[in-house]
């Protein structure tokens, strides 16, 4: 049985405690058709997935890729009007102080695996004693668009849960559907529902991404250089 089928049943029963009649009414489909979705007899069409995503406040990516029956709903962290699943790497005592490491060679895989608990569990991780509050991850940057930070350096970012918490012209690692991981200075435009991403190197062009393309945002906490800085 497909993952989306199991997730639909789980969300209906355990997240909202609804009957098939109730959920079918909420998303404007017949009860018999909804029942066919849950048994796997009929493939769930994209328009129904969109309605389910809006109703449960959970992204389509998460519903399709993550087995929600195996993850605590406490790990569903709010990102404006969507919800993303943030798997956490725990130590033997249940603490989540680990900082997962995403090297450049793994950045493409992170776009696919950011919501996959097994993928996150297999990432290398470390701790920094001066970063004690919030959830952090370390991303290796590539290129010279954010000089003086050198290509190959690591940016440790703190998770930002809401667009409203973004600080104008501060730097963030932003994960988007189309661009993947990028580290830029950010200006939010709430009326346009876009983020303006600005490189510190004037040789590079700024660009905008719509809110709905943003999967994760990590505010700069510290940087780890891997080569000597030139004078």
Determine the Cα–Cα distance for residues 191 and 188; give it in Å rounded to an integer.
Answer: 9
Determine the Cα–Cα distance for residues 62 and 71; give it in Å rounded to an integer.
Answer: 12
Q: In this structure, what token pair is assigned to residue 51? A: 């309605």
Q: Which residue has tokens 């129904």?
A: 48
pLDDT in 10s for each residue of the chain, 231 residues: 588 999 999 999 887 889 999 999 999 999 999 999 999 899 999 999 989 988 887 777 778 877 777 765 555 544 444 445 456 555 555 456 789 999 888 777 888 777 676 778 888 999 898 987 888 999 999 888 998 888 899 999 998 878 888 999 999 999 988 888 899 999 999 999 899 999 999 999 999 999 888 888 999 999 998 877 664
Task: Evaluate whether 48 touches 131 at the Cβ level (below 8 Å).
Answer: no
Name the phi and psi angles at 221, rounded to 5: -115, -40
Helix or strand run (H / E) with residue 191 = none
Write down the pLDDT at residue 211.
87
Write down the pLDDT at residue 91.
53
Fold type of domain 3-70: 434 Repressor (Amino-terminal Domain) (1.10.260)
Helix or strand run (H / E) with residue 185 = strand 180-189
**Sequence ranges of the domains in the chain:** 3-70, 99-224
Task: Evaluate whether 5 touches 64 at the Cβ level (below 8 Å).
Answer: no
Write down the pLDDT at residue 198.
96
Determine the Cα–Cα distance for residues 22 and 42; give it in Å rounded to an integer.
Answer: 19
Roughly what angle, to the nearest 10 degrees, separates helices 31-39 and 3-10? 130
Write down the pLDDT at residue 78.
44
Task: Evaluate whether 220 touches 205 at the Cβ level (below 8 Å).
Answer: no
Determine the Cα–Cα distance for residues 82 and 59; give it in Å rounded to an integer.
Answer: 6
Write down the pLDDT at residue 77.
44
The CATH homologous superfamily for domain 99-224 is Umud Fragment, subunit A (2.10.109.10)
Could you tell me the pTM of the whole model? 0.65
CA distances from 30 to 8, 16, 22, 33, 52 (A): 16, 19, 10, 5, 14
């Amino acid at each position: 049985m497909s993952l989306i089928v199991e997730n639909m049943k789980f969300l209906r029963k355990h997240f909202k405690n609804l009957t098939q009649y109730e959920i079918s009414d909420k998303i404007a489909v017949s009860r018999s058709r909804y029942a066919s979705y849950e048994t796997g007899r009929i493939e769930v069409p994209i328009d129904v997935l969109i309605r389910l995503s809006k109703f449960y406040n959970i992204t389509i990516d998460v519903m399709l890729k993550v087995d929600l029956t195996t993850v605590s709903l406490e790990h569903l962290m709010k990102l404006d009007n969507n919800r993303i699943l943030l798997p956490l790497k725990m130590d033997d005592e249940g603490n989540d102080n680990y900082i997962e490491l995403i090297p450049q060679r793994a950045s493409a895989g992170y776009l696919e695996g950011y919501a996959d608990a097994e993928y996150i569990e297999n990432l290398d991780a470390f701790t920094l004693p001066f970063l004690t509050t919030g959830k952090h991850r370390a991303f290796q940057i590539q290129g010279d668009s954010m000089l003086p930070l050198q290509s190959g350096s690591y940016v440790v970012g703190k998770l930002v849960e809401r667009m409203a918490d973004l600080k104008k012209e501060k730097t963030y690692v932003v994960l988007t559907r189309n661009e993947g991981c990028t580290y830029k200075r950010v200006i939010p435009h709430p009326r346009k529902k876009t983020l303006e991403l600005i490189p510190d190197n004037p040789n590079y062009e700024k660009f905008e991404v719509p809110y709905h393309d943003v999967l994760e945002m990590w505010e700069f906490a510290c940087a780890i250089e891997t080569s000597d800085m030139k004078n």
